[in-house]
Amino acid sequence: MRIRISHSIGYAYAEPARHITQILRLTPRDHDGQHVMSWRIEPTIDGRLRMTQDAFGNVVHTFSADGPIAEMAIRVEGLIETVDLAGIVRGVVERVPVDVFRRDTLLTTPDAALCEFAEEATRDVATPLSRMHALMEALHEKTPCIETGQRTGLGAAAAFAAGEGIPQDIAHIFMTCARHLDVPARYVSGYVAQSDALPHANGAHSWAEVHLQDYGWIGFDAANGLCPIDTHVRVAAGLDYADAAPVRGARKGGDGEALAVRVSARDAGGRAANQ
C-alpha cells in the first residue's frame, strides 16, 4: 500500500511568545515493512531546524525560533510504501538492549487490577506468542478505545480503572501487562490509514511491540484488536509515550495558547482517514 500523510500542528498565542523550542519525532525510517518515498517537515516561520537521532534510534528534529511569535505551524507531508508483515518488525534500527524494555515507567506502572487481568487473560495459554494474542484480545474486549481528541492520556492503571482509553492508553495497558508477564514491551507512535478492517484508524495512532525469543519484535495494536498491517506507518518507539511523543516543546511567554491539529493518512488509491 502507498499511504500519503499530511499532518499540521498549529499554534496561536493571545500573548506572542518570545521564544519557542519544539522537539519533533515526526519522521519515519525505512525498515522491511515500510519504505519512505518522500518526507518533508516545514515550519511556517523562520527559525533553526536541526536533525539528530535519539537513544532509541528515532529521527528527531529540533526547531527553535525567537519571537515575537503570534502564530505558527509545523507541517508534515510524506508518501510511504508499506508491506503487510503480520506484525513482525524487521530491519528497524536497534540502539538499546532488549532487556531495557522490561522496565516500568510512570505511565506503565502496574497495580493489582492490571496484574490480575494479565494473569487471567493468559491463563492456560500454551505459547508466548499465543499469550500475547490472548492478552490483546482480552484488552480489546474489556477496554474500549475512544478518540484521541476526547481527552489526554491517563497512564495504564488509571485508564484501565476508567474502563476506556485513547490509543496511547491502550498501548500503555498492553505494555504494562506484557512486562508483568516478563515480556519486553515498547511503545510505538505512528499513523494508520483508514481500512474497513480497523475500527480506529484516524491518521495518528499508537500501539505496542513485544519481543519474543523465537520471533523478535512483534507489533500489537490492541485498540484495533490486531497486529499492525500494511495500513500502519511506524514512526518512533520508546519505553512509553514520553520517549516517542510526536511533539514536545517549551516556550517563553505565549500565554493563551490555542492548538489546532489536522492529520490525514490515506491510501494513495483514494481511501482516507482524517482527524
| 136-188: pLDDT as tens digits | 999 999 999 887 765 677 899 999 999 999 999 999 999 999 999 999 999 99
Mean pLDDT of the chain: 92
The DSSP call for residue 209 is E
pLDDT surpasses 90 at 198: no
| 178-188: pLDDT as tens digits | 999 999 999 99
Q: Write down the pLDDT at residue 167.
A: 94
Confirm whether pTM is higher than 0.85.
Answer: yes
Please list, in sequence order, all residues whose beta carbon lies within 8 angstroms of the beta carbon of residue 153, skipping any fewer than 6 positions away.
107, 159, 165, 166, 168, 169, 172, 241
| 56-95: pLDDT as tens digits | 999 999 999 998 999 999 999 999 999 999 999 999 989 9
Beta bridge partners of 205: 190
